[in-house]
Amino acid sequence: MTGLRAVYFFDRTIAARTPDEFRASAARAAGAGLTALVTKHTALTPEVVAICRDAGLRAVGSIPCFSDHAAPRPDAPRPIGPDGIPWAPMEWYTGVVPTDPAYTAGVVARCAEAARQDLDGLVLDFLRWPLHWELELRPGATPRRASYDPVTLRAFEEFAGVRLPTEGAAGHIDRHLAEEWTRFRCAVVTGIAARIAAAVRDVRPGLPLGAFLVPAPEERRRALAGQSAADLGTHLDLLFVMSYHAILHADPGLGARLAADAARHTSVPVVPMVQTTADPALARGADWGPPMTPDDFAAALTAAGSDFCLFPGEGIDDPRWSVLAHPTSQETP
């Protein structure tokens, strides 16, 4: 999936628009030089896909893997902190632990089923260990750590060939087994990616398959989320870095830097995400950072380069559409 100039729209927006309204949105996106629309795969009905393709846009579906904030399940395995206490939800986010065999099997099955849709690509979302990075990766924040639940600890013992103490397992890991713990967490995520890729390609050989990456340099992302660009790139076709600079209280060049860092570790394309707005109305109660001007957007877009994915599409107003249509005419800070 090369030459990707994508835009991510919320599924709720697509569902709320009439076919004519969505047709106008797709035509405007294509007219501004965009080449793909990304949204939850469940929103990509045959009619929506046809409208995208008629406009010249590829229709790419995203699949949430280890988060169930949209449709909470009481049986979902919740992250356990070093203190043995389950995580409390943070904003809208409720993470799911990726070591439960039954839950993971369900994720793989859902991805295989999604591959049966007539789509132009799939992107795996929340393919990671629990982390609400939007708040936990901001300057000065201390990311929470998980998961020290019995299933995960038993799986780690088997992976590392060790026996953990019955009390204080998290502290013991920190003191003696930190690198093994990181390798284990990466192996879990990479193993699931391999299973999903095999299942998807069994259904649709050649269907492009990507994943969203936590916006951190490779080593920190490995330690915090178990996502290794180097390892994931052996099973997937492209990687999207969720480099929303305003959310992270960073400068507009963040996406370019993080994409370049990930690209040093893999041969597959790495696409930076470009935040379009911090509008609280679109954030729906979440903190998306300080207000963004069209110039902020233009600076992030320019830094991102030729390939990018805009988020969210709903934040693109007339000045931002103008930036997209005439990028070289925009002054950036």
Please, are residues 222 and 268 in contact by the beta-carbon 8 Å criterion? no
Structure tokens at 286: 């979440």
Closest by CA position to 129, among listed 188, 179, 73: 188
Instruction: Collect all residues with Cβ–Cβ distance below 8 Å to 231 and sequence separation of at least 6.
Output: 186, 190, 193
Per-residue pLDDT, 24: 96
CATH number at residue 155: 3.20.20.80
Print the domain residue range for 108: 65-239
- State pLDDT tens for residues 201-218: 999 999 999 999 999 999
- State pLDDT tens for residues 232-261: 999 999 999 999 999 999 999 999 999 999
Bond from prior residue into 147 cis (ω within 30 degrees of 0) = yes
Examine residue 297 and state whether it is found in any structural domain, yes or no.
Answer: yes
The overall average pLDDT reported for the chain is 95
Question: pTM of this prediction?
Answer: 0.95
Whether 250 and 210 map to the same domain: the answer is no
**Domain boundary residue, one of 187, 216, 239:** 239
Q: Please state the domain count of the chain.
A: 2
Whether 72 and 142 map to the same domain: the answer is yes
Q: Is 206 left (phi over 0), alpha (psi -120 to 50) or beta?
A: left
Examine residue 49 and state whether it is found in any structural domain, yes or no.
Answer: no
Whether 122 and 186 map to the same domain: the answer is yes
Q: How far is 203 from 197, CA to CA, in rounded Å?
A: 10
